[in-house]
Amino acid sequence: MSKSERHYDRANRLFEKGRFRDALREFNLAIEIDPHEPDFYNDRGLVWDKLGIAERALEDFTAAIDLNPTTPAYFFNRARIFSLINEPERAGEDLTEVLHLDPFDSEALLLRGGVLADQMKWDDAIDDYNTAIDLTPDNADLFYDRGLAWEGKKEYHKAIDDFTQALAFDPDYVPAVMDRGNCWDELGELENALEDYSRALELAPNDPMILFNRGLAWLNSGKIDEAIEDFGNSLKYEPDNRRALSSRGDAWMKKGDREKALADYAAAIELDPDDGDLYYRRGNLWDELGNPENALADYNLAVRLEPQQFGAWHNRGNLWFERGEYQKALDDYSKAIELDPKMVIAYRNRGDTLRSLGKPELALADFNHALELDPDNHESHNCRGGLFLELGQLEKSLEDYDRAVNLDPSCSVCLKARGEVYWRLGQYEEAISDFTASIAIDPQDSESYAMRAEAYEQIGQAQLAEADRVITFELRARLKP
């Protein structure tokens, strides 16, 4: 054994013991004596990798390749570093060279599949995983990673099959259990998702990501207290997780504890002040709290930081509409529709805005479009019915209100509006029936009493009409400051 080989052998033994600095010294001595041996550079590169110094690792792997460009391991090692420092294209080039030299290298196929998946080239990644699985059909990692690619393609059932196969080889494979839970969650099969998350937590009790994911599943299941508990436990282990904070804020909102929701949103914003979605959520809370100024400020920040957040554009439009600033509302609703052309509520609200601006034809086009997207939306029928009523097209108005009431018999606004159409058509008995049904749902609505009083008057029921006028006066008096 030569002197350089003795240093090299000693270096590898030190490496195996985890004494990386001592190994580095021995590799340096070996290379100083024999600078033309590629394995010396390759193995020193592995030490630099362990020490977290990627630049030096790349230099050594490149030196090994320059000395011997026919050894697949050198390209594989360099590819792994390129992958770690987020240079997927260069990693992919090296892995392609590995597979050119050794087409049956399943590890290279696995890594290249991961590199392609990182670039969201899902089909190419799946092709590599398929080939690798053909070579090593009992490798749990290959099924797991192919499952991630199917998940990226939103083909959740195929992903579930692969995660299940990975678990058949390794029942304690925590990521496979968790990601299968994620797929069940995406499919809306929350019981299966909760079962997988709970199993994952048995295997990894303190994992903040699993706790967070189970919290989301609880939240989507309507189990608010369970969601809050999981989010809280997740934050114990990862206190800077702004997603857990904002999601717990959502849970507090659903529970009706707005102060705690506000505190969680504020804490999340402090952690990530450039996340537009957080301002959007808090803006919704301010709006619900009856604080339009703070809501407007948050929506302004939301659309500036995240211009694609169509919900913030829409909800800011609502604030402008409430202020009577209809052109601003129109602009915001239009932006929301541009970002989400299937947003039914935005078409409906823009239609109401156009109606307020005295543009009935454009308003009608928006109401029609809303109903094309969702023909069974009672609110859209109600809005279009109101426009037809305003235009004096009573038969068309009645058709829409009939449809609205059939779709939602508990809609007091729809019943009251249909009652007005009946009143204008001279069908007073039908009008009284609708006003009575509206009052049963909302006994504090003075307008329904007032209109029923007029209908009673028309059929000669003066005493009943007077009784409704008294109630109307009392209700309106309560509203006066």
Domain boundaries, the chain: 406-481
The pairs formed by 180-188 with CB atoms below 8 angstroms and a separation of 24 or more are 180/147, 181/213, 181/214, 181/217, 182/151, 182/213, 183/151, 183/156, 183/157, 183/159, 184/156, 184/160, 185/213, 185/216, 185/217, 185/220, 186/154, 186/156, 187/156, 187/157
Q: How far is the first Cα of the chain from the last one, in angstroms, to the nearest whole number?
A: 101
pLDDT in tens, 210-253: 999 999 999 999 999 999 999 999 999 999 999 999 999 999 99
This prediction has a pTM of 0.79
Tell me the C-alpha to C-alpha distance, in Å, between residue 91 and each of 61, 112, 120, 152.
13, 8, 15, 20
Structure tokens at 308: 């694609």
| Residue 426 in this model has a pLDDT that exceeds 90 | yes
Nearest-angstrom CA–CA distance, 304 and 335: 13
Fold topology of 406-481: 1.25.40
Rounded CA separation 477/481 (Å): 9
| For residue 429, pLDDT beyond 60 | yes
Give, to the nearest 10 degrees, the angle between helix 122-135 and helix 140-152: 160
Q: pLDDT of 151-195, one tens digit each?
A: 999 999 999 999 999 999 999 999 999 999 999 999 999 999 999
**In angstroms, rounded to a whole number, what is the distance separating the alpha carbons of residues 335 and 254?**
28
| pLDDT per residue as tens digits for the range 339-383 | 999 999 999 999 999 999 999 999 999 999 999 999 999 999 999
What average pLDDT does this structure show over 295-317? 97
pLDDT tens-place string over residues 27-67: 999 999 999 999 999 999 999 999 999 999 999 999 999 99
The CA distance from 362 to 366, in Å, is 6
**How does residue 479 score in pLDDT terms, banded at 50, 70 and 90?**
confident
- Written as six digits, the tokens of 87 are 């240079």
pLDDT at position 480, please? 63
What per-residue confidence (pLDDT) applies to 236? Answer: 96
